[in-house]
A = this chain, B = another copy of it.
Amino acid sequence: MHYAVYLAGEIHTDWRDSLIAASDGLPVSFTAPVTDHAASDDCGVAILGAEPDKFWHDNKGAKLNAVRTRKAIEEADIVVVRFGEKYKQWNAAFDAGYAAALGKSLIVMHGADHQHALKEVDAAALAVVETPEHVAQILRYVTEGTLPR
């Protein structure tokens, strides 16, 4: 069985690269949102025309990004959501809720300091982890049945 894995959340560290490298050779494919922060913020007005009001500037962009993220979540078997140290990250929690409602297998990644604030999100997950390596070990176990030594 091949698994489609969507990597949601934090875009300011290289956690996706670490995870993908650690999963080398597994029957797994990864998708992600656009991780170029500037492009992600400005895609709406860059393509569809400028908006003087920041709300509509952001609205146009967020809707274009939704074309990609909703398809990726809907086609995923597993949704990994990482909460980093910076920013509000409400879109990460939104994606987690979206995935949970669709019955996706949810894996949440965050540091210990976010534990209490993320308790509702964690409670919807099949695993709560701290590092990309944990996710890779999970992917290895569910695809090959082997545990880390």
Binding site for B on A (CB under 8 A): 1, 3, 31, 34-36, 39, 42-43, 46-48, 52-56, 58-68, 70-72, 75, 77-78, 83, 87-103, 105, 114-124, 126-129, 134, 137-138, 141-143, 145-148
Contacts and interface: CB of A to CB of B under 8 A. Distances in A.
Given A92-B93, A94-B94, 9 more contacts: A39-B146, A58-B119, A61-B119, A62-B122, A63-B123, A88-B88, A90-B92, A90-B120, A98-B101
A2 to B, nearest CB: 10
Interface centre among A48, A67, A75, A142 (most CB of B within 10 A): A67
B39 A127 contact: no
A64 B83 CA distance: 20
